[in-house]
Structure 1
Amino acid sequence: MKRVIGICGIAIMGLMLSGCQTFNTEHGYGIVDYGNDNSDALKNKMRQLLIEKNTVVSIIQFGDAHTSTGYFIETLRHLMQQRFGNAGIGWMTPIAINRSAYQWDIINSQNTLQTDFPMGGYIAKPKHNGAEIKVVLNSGQPRVGLWNVHLMLKSKTTEPISILDTDGKADLSYSLMNIEPNQWRVMNTVTTMPFSIRADSQVELGGLWLQKHNQPGVIVSAVGMKDAQLVAWNQWSPQWLSELQMTNSDLVILEYGTNEALDKNLDAQEYRTNLVTSIQRIRKQLPNAVILLLSPPDLMIQNQQKGTCVEHVPISYEIVKSTQIAVAKAENLLYWDWQKAMGGRCNIAKWYSEGLAQKDLIHLTPLGYEISAEILYQSLLQYWGIAK
C-alpha cells in the first residue's frame, strides 16, 4: 500500500510555498511509499532518535552534478542534524579534503584507465615520502570532541602511514607489513579535529568515514560525480559495494536522471535494467536500508527560439520519470518528484527569473538547491510522522 504525504504553506529561505493541498501519487511534493518493507523500521528509528537520542541514523545520497555541487546535501545535512543531532559527516572522498600545500595528487577515475577505485571515484597519492594531507571541518561542524576515523588505504609496499593531531602528535601509526599489497583496507582510529594524514609515496588514500565518537544523531553523506549516469553503478568495482556496506546506511537516496533525460538516444529498456540492477546491488549490501528515488528536477532545453513549453522539455525526460515510477512500484521503493516540488513542468523558467536556476535551465543556483533540499527535508518529516 502506498502512502502519500502533503506539505502545506511551508516558508523556505524567505520564500513561501502558499496554499494548502493534499497531494496524491500523480500530483505531489511529498514522499510516495510503494510498499518498502523497511519503511516502518526507519520511521520508528527516527522517532526514537528524536525522543531518546540514543541511536545513529546514516543517510547517503548518490547522484550527478546536482549532488556533487554540495549545496543540496549540505542543506539537507544541516537541517537533519539541527533537528536530530549531529553524529558526523560520514563518507568523504579525497577531493573534499583540504590538501595542505598540495603535497598530494588527486586522481579522478574518469581520467584514467585504472578501474580499482573506491566509492566516489577519487584517489589521493603523496607526491613524496612524508607528505601530509590535512582534514579540516567546515564552519558548520563543531571542532571539539573525538571523532572515529576510518581510512580506506592501499599500498604497494609496507611503508607506514600516520595520523597527526593538532599538536603534531601521532594518534595512530600503521605499519602496512601485514597488509596484502595493492588491496584496499580499512584502518580505524579515534582522534581530535583537525588532523593530518602523513604517508609515503606508495600509499593511496581512497576516502574517509568521519563519525563523532559516542554521539547520537544523523550522518548525511554524499557521493556525486558531475556527468554521472545510473549506468555507472554497473561499472563500479566490488570495492565500491563493500564500502557501501561499511556505511551501514539506513536511507539511500538515488539522485540520477538529468544526464539520461538529456540523452536523445536513451534506451528505455536499458535504463530500466540499469536501475533495477543498481537497486538489487544496493539491497544486497544494505538489506535493511530504505531506498528513495529522486526524479530529475524540472529541465528545459534552449536550442529552439520558439515553441511551446512542451517543445522545450528534453526528449527523454518523460521516459526517465515514467521508468523511475514503474521501477519504484515494482521494487517497492520510495519516490520523490523533484519536478512537482518545483511547481511542475516548465517552472524551471520561473525559477531562473527568481534567481533560483542557472541560465542553462538545467542546474540550479545555490539558493535553488537549498530550497529544494528543504522541501525534501519537510517531505521526509511528514512521511516519518514527525511534526515540523
Structure 2
Amino acid sequence: MKIRPIEISLYIVLALFALLMLTFVSKVNKIADGKFQDGFLVYNSIIKYPTTSTFFEDSSISKDQKMDLEKIVSNIETVVEDKKSKIPDFSKIDSTQIERISYPESSSEFIQKLLSQLQSPECRIIHYGDSQLEGDRISAYLRNRLQGLYGGSGPGFIPIKQVYNQISAVVTPSNNWQRYAAFDPSKPHFKTKNYGAYLSVSRFTELYDPIVDSLAIQELEPTIATIDISPSTKLYSKLKNYTSIGVHYGNATLPVNIKVYSSGVLIKEELLESDGKYHCYKINLPSTPANLRLEFEGKISPDFYGLTLDGSKGIHLDNVAMRGNSGTTFASLNSESFGSMYQKLNPKVIIFQYGGNTVPYLKDSLQIKNYSNYLKNHINWVRRKSPDASIIFVGPSDMTTTINGELKSYALLHYLDEVLKQQCVSNNVAYWSMFKAMGGENSMSFWVDKKLAANDYTHFTPQGTQIISELFFTALYMDLKSSK
C-alpha cells in the first residue's frame, strides 16, 4: 500500500497535537529539597512531561534584564570599595537604580522621627534576622555606615557561646559554656521561655530546678568559667573601639562571683545579683582593653543573654542572627523578662529581616497571607515592649529552586514580597524589598555567576553582602537626607 505524503504530514500533525494536549494534563509535582518537576505521578515515580505553561515559557534571562542586573551591581560596586566613606558619593552612582524604601502613609513623619532617633546622643538599633545575618553580615556594613554619619563605635551584641564565625569581635568562652536558643530545635526549650531580648542563652553549668534539685545542689562544687574578649582584627576600625561593656543575665538564684581582668590585671570583683531577675552588669573603661577576661565562679550558672560592646555614645547596632527562623518566635517568649531587658536596652530602631526560610514551604496565596498576618502579630508583640521605636522590615532575597532541571525563582516569591510590603506599610512599618533591589525574578543566578552569592543560591558572599548592604543603606540615606 502506497502512503501518500499528505497522509504522512497529517499523521505528524495529529501526533504533535496529541503530545500538545498531554501538556494540559501534566502537573507540577513537588519533589525532594523543595524542587519541582513537571510530569505524571505514577505511584511514587514521576514520568517527566512539560506542562503547557512550561512548554511555551522562555526560561532564560532576557538580554534587557541581564543589562539591568549589570547596572545594579556595577552602579554600587564603586561605592563599597571606599569603606571609610561616611556618605554615598552620588557623583559616582545613578540613584535611579536604587530600590527605595516603602513607608506608611505618613512617610514624612516616619522619616523625620527616624532621623531624630539616629541623631540622638545614644541610639540602639536591634537587627533581627535569619541566617543571612550570621557572623554580623549586613549588620556590620550598616553599622559602620551609620556610625560614620551619626557617631558611635563598637559591635554591640555578641553571644557568649557562638555557633558561627563572628567578624565583629573575638570572644572566646571556656569549654564548659553551653548555648540554648529559642529558635534552636536541637535542644529542649526552657519551660520558662525566658531567652531575653536576643533570644539565646549561654550557661556554664547544667540546668537545675532550685526546688526539685535542692539536695543535689547542696553537694555541688563551685564551677569556674571564663570569657576572653579582644577587638576584631577584621573589616571596620570602629568595631575595635568599645569602652562600655554590658554582661546581660538573669535567673541567678545562687551567688555567683565575677572577676574582671584587663590585660591580666584584676580591675573589678563583685557578686552578681541573685534575685532571679534580669540585670546588666556594667564595665566602663577609659579605653578599649587589648584583652578583657571575665571569670565567673558559682555552683549554678545564671542565664547569660550575651554581651554588648559599645562606645560611650552614638549608634549601637546589635546583630541577632536566628538560623532557620521565619520571625515567628517572639510572641512565644516570656513577656516580662523580654520587656525588662528592652527597658534597659531601650532600642530606638528595630529591623526585622525574615521570609526566606518560609519560601520553600509556601504552596498558595492563602498560606502567604496567613504567614504575613502571623508575622505581623509577632512584630506587634515586640513593638509593645518598645512602643516608640521605629520599625523597618527587610524582605527576603531572590531564591532559586530547580524546576525541570533549571534554576528559577520560587514561583510565589514575588507575591510574598508584595504581600509583606502591603502588610508592613499598613502596620506603620517601613519595608525594603531586597528581592527587587537585587534585580527581581531569577536575579539570584546572576549574583551567583558574579560570585556575589554562594552556590546554595540563597546566601550572599562577603562581596555580595557589601553590595546588598550598600543598596539598603543608600536607599535609607536618600530618605534621611531629603527630610533635613
Report the TM-score when normalising by structure 2.
0.67
Question: What is the CA–CA distance in structure 1 between the aligned matches of 2:463 and 2:299, rounded to whole Å?
Answer: 41
Aligned to 2:178: 105
Indicate yes or no: 2:138 matched with 1:72: yes
Q: CA deviation at 1:147?
A: 1.8
What is the SS of the residue equivalent to 1:381? Answer: helix
Residue from 100, 115, 121 that aligns with 1:30: 100
Residue 284 of structure 2 is aligned to residue 184 of structure 1: no
Q: Distance in 1 between matches of 2:154 and 2:239?
A: 9
Distance 1:126 1:70 in 2: 24
**Deviations along 1:24-57, whole A, 9 cap, x unmatched?**
xxxx6112222355431222444xx4xxxx7122
Partner of 1:124: 202
Aligned-pair distance for 1:228? 0.6
Once the 2 structures are TM-superposed, how far is the Cα of residue 141 of structure 1 from its aligned partner? 4.2
Q: Deviations over 1:61-112 (max 9, x none)?
A: 1110111242211111222223332243322222356224424233344222
Q: What code does the residue aligned with 1:56 have? A: E
The equivalences for 1:132-211 within 5 A come to 132-139=226-233, 140-141=237-238, 146-176=243-273, 179-181=274-276, 183-191=277-285, 193=289, 194-199=291-296, 200-204=298-302, 205-211=304-310
Q: How many residues align?
A: 362
- Pick the aligned partner of 1:338 from 434, 438, 463: 434
Within 1, Cα distance between the matches of 2:136 and 2:147? 16
Larger Rg: 2
Q: Which piece of structure 1 moves more, 255-264 or 105-114?
A: 105-114
What letter is aligned with 1:136?
Answer: S
Equivalent position of 2:29 in the other structure: none
Please provide the CA RMSD for this pair. Answer: 3.0
Q: Deviations over 1:111-137 (max 9, x none)?
A: 223232223333222256222111222
Letter in 2 for 1:208: L
The amino acid that maps onto 1:373 is: S
* Aligned counterparts of 2:425 and 2:174: Cα–Cα separation in 1: 50
How far has the Cα of 1:338 moved from its partner?
A: 0.7
Give the equivalent residue in structure 1 for 2:347. Answer: 249
Q: Deviations over 1:191-211 (max 9, x none)?
A: 353322221241232212332
Secondary structure of residue in 1 paired with 2:454: coil
Q: Which position in structure 2 is the counterpart of 1:292?
A: 392
Please give the secondary structure, in 2, of the residue aligned with 1:331.
coil
Three-state SS of the structure 1 residue aligned to 2:309 is: strand
Match of 2:476 in 1: 380
Match of 1:212 in 2: 311
Counterparts of 1:145 and 1:338 in 2: how far apart (Å)? 31
Structure 1 position 351, deviation (Å): 0.5
Q: CA deviation at 1:230?
A: 1.8
Q: Is the 8 A contact 2:153 2:238 kept in 1?
A: no
Instruction: Decide whether aligned partners of structure 1 residues 227 and 241 sit closer, same or farther in structure 2, where only a CA change above 3 A counts.
Output: farther
Q: Counterpart in 1 of 2:127?
A: 61
Q: Does 1:348 align with 2:444?
A: yes
Offset, 1:156: 3.2
Identity level (%):
17
> Secondary structure in 2 aligned to 1:385?
helix
Cα drift, residue 148 of structure 1? 4.3
What is the distance in 2 between the residues matched to 1:282 and 1:39? Answer: 20
Return the alpha-carbon distance in structure 2 between the equivalents of residues 304 and 69 of structure 1: 34
Give 2:212's aligned residue.
none
Match of 1:39 in 2: 111
Query: Structure 2 counterpart of 1:43, which letter?
Result: L
**What is the CA–CA distance in structure 2 between the aligned matches of 1:363 and 1:87, rounded to whole Å?**
27
Aligned to 1:3: none
362, 365, 373: which one aligns with 2:458: 362
CA distance in 2: counterparts of 1:297 and 1:122, whole angstroms: 25
Do 2:161 and 2:178's aligned partners in 1 also have CA atoms closer than 8 Å? no
CA contact (8 A) 2:160 2:227 kept: no
* 1:324–1:225 Cα change, 3 Å: same
Q: Is the 8 A contact 1:164 1:170 kept in 2?
A: yes
Distance (Å, rounded) in 2 between the aligned partners of 1:175 and 1:55: 29
Cα drift, residue 376 of structure 1: 0.9
CA contact (8 A) 1:150 1:187 kept: yes
- Structure 2: stretches of 5+ with no match in the other structure: 1-71, 83-88, 163-169, 206-221
Q: What is the CA-CA distance between 1:356 and the residue it aligns to?
A: 0.5
Distance 2:116 2:180 in 1: 41
The 3 A distance-change label for structure 1 pair 294 and 142 is: closer
1:280 corresponds, among 376, 380, 383, to: 380
Question: Is there any run of 5+ residues in structure 1 with no aligned partner, and where?
Answer: 1-6
Tell me the SS of whatever aligns to 2:417: helix
